Structure 1
Amino acid sequence: MKCRRTPLTITQAAAIFAAAFLYLVLLLWWMLPFLRSQPGLHPATHWYLIGYALFPPMIGYALWQARREGADTLAKLLASLCVRPMTHRDWKSAAAGIFAVLAGTGLLLGGWSHLAGLDWLPPVNTSPWCIDMSPLEGSNRLLLLAWAPMFVLNIVGEELLWRGYVQSRLTIRHRWQAIGLLWLAFHLPFGVSTMVLSLPLMLVLPFVFERTQNTTVAILIHAMFNGPAFLAAAFGLLPG
């Protein structure tokens, strides 16, 4: 289904990323200390609650802009944001993208750990400072029921906005590299380690989207990278 898309300049795209970045910084500066001051709140829920504040506006903005372009039905909204069923080619692209992201991240993690062992780099920190990644034990594992909807909002929100809306409308050449760098900059508040280890995802995912023009592929790759890693940490399956 063809739909009208209003072109975006790199300045407009950067402004959208900057607005989301500033909102994230505000949440981490104001909301996170407030949540940490609440004695009855499990630390794992801090990021969950921040996510519930952060990601729905991303979805809302992408849908609002698509609606402004004339997407007045669900089918038109999905088409406007490049959400469509997976083809055989899409599945192959998704599998290749997941493999590339995992392999690239593994190589970066291994290389950093090796250099840290030689005292050439500080020890790698795989957990962002603002997210509690310690294992959940006993009944606390039920907190994953609060994490799951936030995780869906996270993946869908970022992909609808970054890929389905912004990247598909960006008018510059080599736009996937520009989107990758802007997406990387959006993660600056999480710290250097997170940015470095996220670099394969930040570049591979926009590249795969550029080839497929299917936001569903991007959602799958993003989910298969973030989800298993978080669950492994939550169940204490990662090395200490």
Structure 2
Amino acid sequence: MAGNSSIEWTEATWNPVTGCNKVSDGCKHCYAERMAKRLHAMGNPRYENEFNVTLHHDLIDAPKKWIKPKKIFVNSMSDLFHEKIPSEFIQQVFKTMNETPQHSYQVLTKRPERAVDLSDRLSFTPNIWMGTSVENVKVINRIELLKQVPAKVRFLSCEPLLGPLDDLNLTSIHWVIVGGESGPGARPMEADWVRSIRDQCKTQKVAFFFKQWGGVQKHRYGRELDNRTYDEYPNEILAY
């Protein structure tokens, strides 16, 4: 529920909430849903409700015990701005993030409209990075919504990338993560889709991180693009 992570662009995960529901094409083969069902079958008490939204009040303060600075992915098994999560609970999560400035928190949502609605009740301290998922042009409007969130760092997760994203306006966006889908039923990603986003990031001076090619067995394909890896972070562009 909280601890070190193998996700390439973060160092730890923190899940004060588990569970979600599908809202767009990128959710079709949700890894978190698969994992939740597996953990439920194994009798893990955190997943008694399988993938239904569940609040874990006892985990709200967990990052306060981590002295060493970490990049922390918030709610890798849910979405902090899910409509079933009370605004008061979200405020408590933000309070913990505000009180632990040694960490950088990566909050990724497919519901940026709710983040905008709640933004006047939340304190976006500089250690809170706000991101949204943009898997294809159908959800391109999420980018403009994210720009309305008063975070110092804003990022896009184009994973799983399901189609081309050309002519992106990355003004006020500081980081873009791109990755192919992995696991059972993984849908293919074309190299030119990735190159286009990489080149747009370079032109618009946005940090670019290429996570993986994906596939049913993602380890077979690695994460090199044109014979190199891309591991850029927003703090390489922004002065903290």
TM over 0.5: no
What's the TM-score, normalizing by structure 2?
A: 0.25
The structure whose RCO (Cα within 8 Å, separation 6+) is larger is 1
- Could you say which structure has the higher strand fraction? 2
**Over alpha carbons, which structure has the higher Rg?**
1
